[in-house]
Amino acid sequence: MNAITPDALQAEAPDATQSAVAALEEDIVFGRLHPRERLTEDELMARFSMKRHAVRQVLSELELLGVVEKKRNIGAVVRTFSAREVMELYALREVLEVHAASQMPLPVPEARLAALVAVQREHDAAVTDGDARRVFRSNQRFHREFFGLLDNAVLGQAIEEYARRTHPIRFGTLVAAGYRERARQEHWAMIQALRDGDRNALMTICRDHLLPSRDAYLASEQMRLRA
């Protein structure tokens, strides 16, 4: 049997870390981990067969993504947001995403539009199959491809970063079939607006596309506070 060299271990470590980050991110998105829920190092070490320093790296990366926060005397917990924070975060996302739609070159070249359509067909299939993980990942690919049409890497990165920060907010919509179908239809409306060169429609759809996840989270928090 070949020995595993230190170099090989170092090469594997980033993949293991990113796999754990992705798995926990999905747990948060799909509501398997709830806002305020504690993430203990010992449980994560057992789950992912990782050393403590590697688990701490995973938690640090989740904190940088804005989906986990560390609290004194408690440790790492799934981040929660006040109503004001939710409104402010989504207001910023609206500024970024509607601005991107306002600047997107129209008409879109057919080859680039075809690439976006191909990604959306993957999203359609995931929604039809009820596969939450594929819905989530294909939705991410759609928006990356869509905002990539602007050819503005700085704005694209900002949009992706702040979208990711809303992962703990979006779980209510990603697990509900009605919200998934609405998102699917709005993706096709975006594609049609691009095809028609209708900038006003494109900007309106991008603005409205943000509202369901924001409003669902605020409603769930109101119910929690009344309980």
Is residue 32 located within the same domain as residue 52?
yes
What CATH number corresponds to the domain at position 97? Answer: 1.20.120.530
Is residue 155 located within the same domain as residue 140?
yes
Is residue 111 located within the same domain as residue 153?
yes
| Residue 6 falls inside a structural domain | no
Last residue of a domain, one of 22, 44, 78: 78
Q: Kindly report the pTM of this predicted structure.
A: 0.83
pLDDT beneath 50, residues of the chain: 1-12
Is residue 200 located within the same domain as residue 98?
yes
**Strand intervals (E) in the chain:** 38-39, 68-71, 75-78
Given this model, what pLDDT does residue 13 score? 57
Is residue 74 located within the same domain as residue 87?
no
Is residue 39 located within the same domain as residue 101?
no
**Domain count of the chain?**
2
Is residue 101 located within the same domain as residue 73?
no
Provide the 3-class DSSP secondary structure of residue 187. helix
**Strand intervals (E) in 125-190:** none
Degrees to nearest 5, angle at CA 18 with 17 and 24: 95
Distance, in Å, from the CA atom of 76 to the CA atom of 69, rounded to the nearest integer, reads 6
Given this model, what pLDDT does residue 167 score? 81
Given this model, what pLDDT does residue 176 score? 79
Q: Rg of the chain's alpha carbons, rounded to an integer? A: 19
Residue span of the structural domain in which 25 resides? 14-78
Distance, in Å, from the CA atom of 169 to the CA atom of 207, rounded to the nearest integer, reads 17
Last residue of a domain, one of 52, 78, 104: 78
What CATH number corresponds to the domain at position 33? Answer: 1.10.10.10
Distance, in Å, from the CA atom of 56 to the CA atom of 54, rounded to the nearest integer, reads 5
Is residue 217 located within the same domain as residue 187?
yes
Is residue 50 located within the same domain as residue 138?
no
Is residue 155 located within the same domain as residue 221?
yes
Given this model, what pLDDT does residue 220 score? 80
Is residue 26 located within the same domain as residue 56?
yes
